[in-house]
Amino acid sequence: MAGRPVFVLPGDEIDASLIPTHPKQPLRIGPGLRLVPPSDLVPTIAGPLLTDKRKNSIWVERSSGRYLPAVGDLVIGTVTRSTADFYYVSLSDYAANATLPQLSFEMATKKTKPNLNAGALVYARVTLANKHMDPELECVSQSTGKSDGLGPLIGGMVFNVSLGFARRLLMPKAVEEGKVVVLDELGGAGLAFETAVGRNGKVWVNSESIPTIIAVGNALIETDRKNLTVDQQKKLVRKLINTK
């Protein structure tokens, strides 16, 4: 979507020119929109209307409020309990647990599946999401059999950010409306760390240095809460590096 996103209200009519069209991919309708047959899209919440042309998807952004799972979302969850076949994973403090099959990991068999206790963190993809059923997750691509970076998250710390900021961190830089450079700046300043971003407003940060983990987490939170510009993010990083 070129320029600033269009702000919509519940019941607004969405111009057809705003809806992405991909010659090979079906249209993916995300949170905040309802399909009215035969082809009308109607907003169900107020917010900016956003699109991802590569995925042929459209949704209404919610920067705050409750996370509503959508198929394809990358999320960070906490294992709450397990059964013989499933892990039950919390994605937020207020939603029902999602289910994660114990064999839904790369190279997992009944003998080699990961042993995740309550409190363990996982990076997963939402495969089922509707109001009538609990969400379902996977930690392996069904098409390739590879983890593609998904799976248990060992060590590190999780920091909470707004839903809108999490989306900005996940979007490709080429299509990002509000550029986030704070992680690139921290890495360029010599800090060694790794991150995983959950669409449910959680960011996992890991490093061999605990001060580095805390510095990265605090930088993300401050950038989010103050909606820092690119120049302000760079200034924040210089301040953090000088005080480390």
Residue 164: what pLDDT? 85
- pTM of the entire predicted model: 0.78
Whether residue 95 is predicted with pLDDT greater than 80 in this model: the reply is no
Of 15, 31, 60, the residue at which a domain comes to its end is 60
Residue 39 lies in a domain: yes
How many residues are there in the chain?
A: 244
Geometric angle at alpha carbon 210, from 64 and 113, rounded to 5° = 75
- How many domains does the structure of the chain reveal? 3
DSSP designation for 173: G
Summarised one tens digit per residue, pLDDT across range 205-218 is 999 999 999 999 99
Of 154, 188, 212, the residue at which a domain comes to its end is 154
Q: Which of 238, 209, 227, 98 is nearest to 161 (CA)?
A: 227
Cα–Cα distance measured from residue 157 to residue 171, given in angstroms and rounded to the nearest whole number:
22
Lowest-confidence region among 83-87, 133-137, 145-149, 180-184: 145-149
Token pair 């999401």: residue: 129
Q: Are 87 and 146 in contact (CB under 8 A)?
A: no
Could you tell me the CATH number of the domain that includes residue 42? Answer: 2.40.50.100
Residues 6+ apart with CB under 8 A from 76: 121, 122, 123, 124, 153, 158, 196, 197, 198, 200, 202, 203, 204
Q: Residue 102: which domain range?
A: 73-154
**Beta-bridge mates of residue 138:** 125
